[in-house]
Structure formats: C-alpha cells, structure tokens
Structure 1
C-alpha cells in the first residue's frame, strides 16, 4: 500500500486543518440528514472556511511549480457538499467529505489536475491524473503512451512514485482498445479509461502542522505525470 509519509518539502505556508473540521466530517458521515445538517450549519460553515483558507494558501505554494495554480482561489476549486440524488439509489443529501480540484479551468475542468479529498476516519487522500476523458482525449493519451512508453514508465514505475502512489488506478477495458493489439508492450496502460495516481492520507497527517508540506510533496511528485497526460491534449485544443 502506498504511504504518504513525512516529507522534506519546505514551505513557508502555515495553514493547517483544524481538528473540528475533521470531526464535523466524521459526524456528518454518521448523521447524513437534512435535519442534522440544518442544526449543525454553523459547524459546516466553520469547517468549510478552514478548508478554503487552506486551499488559498495551497494555491500560493503550488504556484512555485505549477502555473495553473495562478489566478485561482479556493472557491474556484471546491466542490459543493450537496449531492445530486435525482438519478441515484443513494439518497443521502450530502457528501461526507470536502473535495477540491486544481486544473486549468477550475474544478469543472476535464484536463489533468490535482485533487485533495478531506474526510474523517482516515479516508482522506490526494490524487492526480485524468479522470474519464472524452473520446478524443482518451485516444490522444493512448497514442501518447503507445509512442512514448519508456517515458511514461519512467514516471509511473519510478521507485519514489510507486512508494507514494502505488499502482495506477482507474476504470479499465476488459478487452484491448480499438486499434491496438494485445501483444502491444504498452497494453496494460492502454486499457485504462482513466489514469489516476492516489496517495492515502491518515487523520494524523491531515491534522499535523506539516500537512501543507505533505500535500505539496505529493502534488509536486504528480506534476511529471500530469504534464505527460496534458501534452497530447494541448494539440487537440489548438486544432
């Protein structure tokens, strides 16, 4: 299992996640009703502000190595806590976590980016990559991996990367993708429909004073992966 352990990353940012923020998310997971949420709305607003404050400082720190972090704010990244239950059998009205996505275009972007998931009971994680892209993006990334397999493997199979993120995650085809043979040396990566690298985070890490450094270390390690996935998509945007 990947381990997002302590880091040597140095940051000047002092934002931290409050213990009360994680406690609110734990309690919400156990009491996911509109009545409970209404009674605890002040707790939610305090927890959300804490998360947004952390994201604002996180963006400033990320801008040192990731240009897409410039000119964005925490509010541009964070997803609504209210669930869309119209077409779901799960009728819980609220998400039991906070989530934020850093990418060109903000949280609704379909481009590769960085995700920070905050939840109680050791269910937090950070992640990066490309999630369920449209057909033309999917085709372009598969071609990039096929043409530059050595470069891709040098990123995702590096010892340091594997230690943080383990194996790549994401939905995969059970058969070979159209246009490729099963003997293709890249086939294990070409079957993916999403390419995601995920690093679990414990409650202890989230509440530590150096959590910002842990997040930055993880995101900085993800940058070569995201850059590789982004490169072929820029050509699509220019067409």
Structure 2
C-alpha cells in the first residue's frame, strides 16, 4: 500500500527561502529540507506514475553556470520528467510559485525544428494539431513554447498554419499555485490527469518528430 502524501508545503517555503539566499552555504545548511520536502516526495510521485507513463528522471538541483552571467549555484525549482522521446515528454515542477505540470516538445534543436516544419506540408497533420491544441486550451491549459517573432524563411504570409510554424518548441502547461491537495495523496491523480490530457500532443509530436509511438 502506498504511503504517498503529496508534496509538503515546506517545498514551496524552501524555494521562497532559496530565492532570497542562493548560496552554497545556505544550501548545505538547508539540504535536509530539500531532501525531505522536495526530492523524496517527487521521487515517490515519479515511482507511482512510472507504470503508466514511463521511467522518470529527477533533474539535478545544481545550475550549469559555465556559460551564464548568473552564477547562482542552484535552480529555484525542482522538475521531474518522463521523456519517451529525446527532447519531448511529460513534466511536473515545484517552486516558490507552487505546482506546475507540462507536456510536449521543449528542445529546440535544429533537426527537430526542421522535422516539425516539414510536417505542415501535410495539411491534414497541421489541421489535426490545431484541433488538439484547441481542445487543450478549452480545457484550461496554456499552449506555449519558443516562437519566432516573424514568419520562418520561405513560408508564405497567408499560410493557414503560420502561427504554428513559428514554434521552435511546443508545450502545454497548467500552473496550480498551492492547491489544498498539494500535500495530500490526491496530488497523484491531478498530475496523472494532466499528463493524460497532454498525451494527444505527445503522440502527435513523438510520431512526427521522433518517429515513435507513446
């Protein structure tokens, strides 16, 4: 029997405090809070989602500061991902803003962008994507991703899917803040329900960009 009890509100408090003092000294002094309120609950959540969605990965809490002007050492959020296709997957995150879920394609690598644009040579595939994104918006999800400010080179101004062709990544998200069910076992079903809602988008992307079924 599962003893999962959601993500403690202490996880949100932890990231609120980290935003105020993002230093190695603070982190080391507060690491037990991270282990108990952030890492362990997310690992438990991932284990419960694994049978339906696949193997989860918990991202490292350290930032890669090698090429960044911001040298703060730690991420101000903790994410867990299931990525059945490289650069695409289901995601859940906790931060000072609370809980967020997401799904879709986040890696704007040139080969994926090229494959994505080629898809729209098939009018049916573009129409299918429009429909499933419309359904996500109607259900209260936010469709986003990296986008070009202008139209891609070689694309007509009157292309029926111009707005979609501007995307260099494509995701759907929902932000919850701190719902009353965050520190309860109900969290599992809320995250699973969102990930199921993202599945049509994941299937479309995985098939056409990754050549896989999910």
* TM bracket, shorter-chain basis: 0.7 to 0.9
Which of these residues, 186, 192, 196, is aligned with residue 216 of structure 1? 192
CA pair 188-13 structure 1, distance change in 2 beyond 3 A: farther
Counterpart check, 1:50 vs 2:41: yes
The structure with the greater share of residues assigned to strand is 2
Deviation for aligned residue 1:116: 0.8
Which of these residues, 62, 82, 86, is aligned with residue 82 of structure 1? 62
Counterpart check, 1:171 vs 2:146: yes
Deviation for aligned residue 1:203: 1.1
Counterpart check, 1:194 vs 2:174: no
Counterpart check, 1:20 vs 2:10: yes
SS at match of 2:144: coil
CA pair 118-143 structure 1, distance change in 2 beyond 3 A: same
Where do 4+ consecutive residues of structure 1 move more than 6 Å? none
Provide Cα deviations, 1:86-121, integer angstroms capped at 9, x if missing partner.
Answer: 22121211112111111126xxx32x2111111124
Contact conserved, 1:161 with 1:221, CA < 8 A, in 2? no
Matching residue of 1:100: 80
Matching residue of 2:134: 157
SS at match of 2:160: coil
SS at match of 1:118: strand
Contact conserved, 1:13 with 1:212, CA < 8 A, in 2? no
Deviation for aligned residue 1:13: 8.6
SS at match of 2:155: coil
Contact conserved, 1:177 with 1:191, CA < 8 A, in 2? yes
Q: Which runs of 5+ in 1 are unaligned?
A: 1-11
Q: Which runs of 5+ in 2 are unaligned?
A: none
Counterpart check, 1:35 vs 2:15: no
Contact conserved, 1:146 with 1:190, CA < 8 A, in 2? no
Aligned partners of 2:33, 2:164: CA distance in 1, in Å?
43
Counterpart check, 1:141 vs 2:89: no
CA pair 234-95 structure 1, distance change in 2 beyond 3 A: closer
- Alignment length, in residue pairs? 207
Aligned partners of 2:120, 2:129: CA distance in 1, in Å?
6
